[in-house]
Amino acid sequence: MDVPTVDAIALGDAFARELPELGASWRAVRPEDPELLALNEPLARELGLDPIRLRGERGVRLLLGNELPEGAAPVAQVYAGHQFGAYAPRLGDGRALLLGEIRAPDGRLVDLHLKGSGPTPFARADGFAAVGPMLREYLMGEAMHALGIPTTRALAVVATGRGVRRDDSFDALPGAVLVRTAGSHLRVGTFQYARSTGNLALLRRLSDHAIARHFPDLAERADAHLGLLSAVVEAQARLVASWMLVGFVHGVMNTDNTTISGETIDYGPCAFLDAYDPAAVFSSIDHAGRYAYGSQPGIALWNLTRLAESLLPLLPPPSTAAGASGSAQTADPESAHSESAQAAALDALSGFGPAYDAAWSSGMRAKLGIAAVPVERFPDAALVELSAAMLGELQMHRIDYTRFFRVLADAARGRDDELFALYPDGRRPGAWLSQWTGLSPDARAMEEVNPVVIPRNHLVDAALDAATEGDLSLFEELLDAVTRPYVLQAGRERYALPAPAGSRPHVTYCGT
């Protein structure tokens, strides 16, 4: 790929060049008086960018897409998507732009993308974004990254000096642009859009682009597109298992917010669980609980099924489809192909359950400090039974999910007073506790995988309210705490505690 190297940054145009039907050439609005609010220096260095140059006036203009290296070709990407189950045929970057791709020193290709950079041909509202939600995306993404969960990441948030109006606030809010990086911004919705055009060559080009970018080992395979589907199924299964293990509720798992890379994207209405509850929903608009915590694996599979449908025309004909020999005898070759493609797609989708279960089981073994216990001694069926009993108690007594696993590590050291204190008077953990203790759990290993600090909802709200008023100190302190999630620093004990009893239920908002 040609990557122009000019000034502080070099931006490739692979997406714009290879998939012109999926992008509208566009430019970001130029704010009068931009101010860099947050710069992710570790990420900048990982990408081979010089933080000092990025902080300069020219660097900020580069971040905003106002000054571009030669050869850059920013595009607003188009995609479709099922939003809360209803199909929207044309969504796309309404307030976002793909500036281009950066080749990191380690060889990775990374998208540089803006959110809040002005209305595009796909705009559904003003095209802008407010400081609070953009800093929120920065904070949540960095917390997820620190927890080892694949995610898009913020490189910077730049205040624009422009006010944005939102329904829920009387006054104009300060505007901002989020500068985001990602393995790519290819979404299930991108494939739905390509399929809907009826242009099979485009669908094939998109699939080949995704393979080259994310699963290059598949490229030479005769059934590479089926391989793509299986690889995305597996990546999403692992991703959603990691969300479940850490108590993350994405909140808006539309197909346009489901990546092909298996990275978490779109931190609009997400939140971490306080009390463990499979029915937990935080989003103001998720009235039916479609995207509740416990529904996430099923929704991921639903979204992947939409990807499978989009890919059907590329799936193997009878001669190469594994296990589809019966349909080869069907008289009509068209329907023979479609039957074998469906069989192949179903087979790929059936990989979701085992991949999810494997990721969840090994993650839960690690959380319980029993990763070293041989599976023959403590099989998965026993793990599932023990976890169900344990999590059932958390749900029944509304016990804080994150704190529970940290005090369980104390219990592994024989100090069980704090564990018992999480239970209501007169109640005690059930038989699972002695069964677990009998496995000699490793307390130190538990403390390496169970976070003590997560971006708790009440802390995030307080930090963002202050940032909206111009005081970034709470945001910076919380960012520092959540990016070191396994250690509790002196003086920061409040970060480890749930919201005070009697706090209002937490509510999150989309598209702000």
Euclidean distance between CA atoms 99 and 117, whole angstroms: 11
Which of 13, 111, 223, 256 is flagged as catalytic? 256
From the CB of 511, what's the least distance to Mg ion, in Å? 8
Query: Quick one: 127 or 174, whose CB is closer to ligand ATP?
Result: 127
Query: Quick one: 136 or 367, whose CB is closer to ligand ATP?
Result: 136
147-155, 249-257, 430-438, 444-452 -> range binding Mg ion (CB under 5 A): 249-257
Nearest CA to 93 among 111, 107, 79? 79
| Cβ(118)–Cβ(178) below 8 Å | no
Q: Is 187 annotated as a binding residue?
A: yes
Binding mask 78-107 for ligand ATP (x = CB under 6 A): -------------xxxxxx-----------
- If binding is defined by CB under 5 A, does position 137 make contact with Mg ion? no
Q: Is 94 annotated as a binding residue?
A: yes
Q: Is 392 annotated as a binding residue?
A: no
Question: Within 13 Å and on the Cβ side, how many CA atoms surround 307?
Answer: 34
Q: Is 126 annotated as a binding residue?
A: yes
- If binding is defined by CB under 5 A, does position 266 make contact with Mg ion? yes
Catalytic site includes residue 256: yes
Query: Quick one: 161 or 323, whose CB is closer to ligand ATP?
Result: 161
Query: What residue number has its CB nearest to ligand ATP?
Result: 94
From the CB of 216, what's the least distance to Mg ion, in Å? 27
| Cβ(495)–Cβ(453) below 8 Å | yes
Rounded to 5 degrees, what angle do the CA atoms 166, 170, 176 make?
45
Query: Quick one: 443 or 510, whose CB is closer to Mg ion?
Result: 510
Residue with tokens 């990191």: 104
Query: Quick one: 232 or 445, whose CB is closer to ligand ATP?
Result: 232
Q: Is 238 annotated as a binding residue?
A: no
State the binding partner of 363 from Mg ion, ligand ATP, none, CB within 5 to 8 A by kind.
none
Q: Which residue of 24, 104, 109, 123 would you call a contact of ligand ATP, by CB under 6 A?
A: 123
From the CB of 200, what's the least distance to ligand ATP, in Å? 25
Query: Quick one: 51 or 119, whose CB is closer to ligand ATP?
Result: 119
125-133, 289-297, 369-377, 457-465 -> range binding ligand ATP (CB under 6 A): 125-133
Euclidean distance between CA atoms 226 and 235, whole angstroms: 14
State the binding partner of 95 from Mg ion, ligand ATP, none, CB within 5 to 8 A by kind.
ligand ATP
19-27, 151-159, 261-269, 287-295 -> range binding Mg ion (CB under 5 A): 261-269
- If binding is defined by CB under 5 A, does position 223 make contact with Mg ion? no
Q: Is 268 annotated as a binding residue?
A: no
- Contacts by residues 42-49 (CB-CB < 8 Å, ≥ 24 positions apart): 43/153, 43/154, 43/155, 43/181, 44/155, 46/104, 46/105, 46/106, 47/102, 47/104, 47/105, 47/110, 47/155, 47/181, 48/102, 48/103, 48/104, 48/105, 49/8, 49/9, 49/102, 49/155
Euclidean distance between CA atoms 9 and 26, whole angstroms: 19
Q: What are phi and psi of 248, to 5 degrees?
A: -95, 130
Nearest CA to 111 among 196, 43, 38? 43
Euclidean distance between CA atoms 253 and 47, whole angstroms: 28
Site size toward ligand ATP, by CB under 6 A:
21
State the binding partner of 313 from Mg ion, ligand ATP, none, CB within 5 to 8 A by kind.
none
Query: Quick one: 124 or 398, whose CB is closer to ligand ATP?
Result: 124
253-292 positions binding ligand ATP, by CB under 6 A: 257, 265-266, 268
Question: 199-229 burial, b for 16+ CB within 10 Å, e for fewer?
Answer: eeebbebbbbbbbebbbeebeeeebbbbbbb
Distance between alpha carbon 112 and the CA centroid of its chain, in Å?
Answer: 16
What's 121-145 look like in SS3? CCCCCCCCCEHHHHHHHHHHHHHHH
- If binding is defined by CB under 6 A, does position 510 make contact with ligand ATP? yes
Residues making up the binding site for Mg(2+): 257, 266
Residues making up the binding site: 92, 94-95, 115, 126-127, 180, 187, 257, 266
Residues that bind ligand ATP (CB under 6 A): 91-96, 115, 119, 122-128, 257, 265-266, 268, 510-511
Active site residues: 256
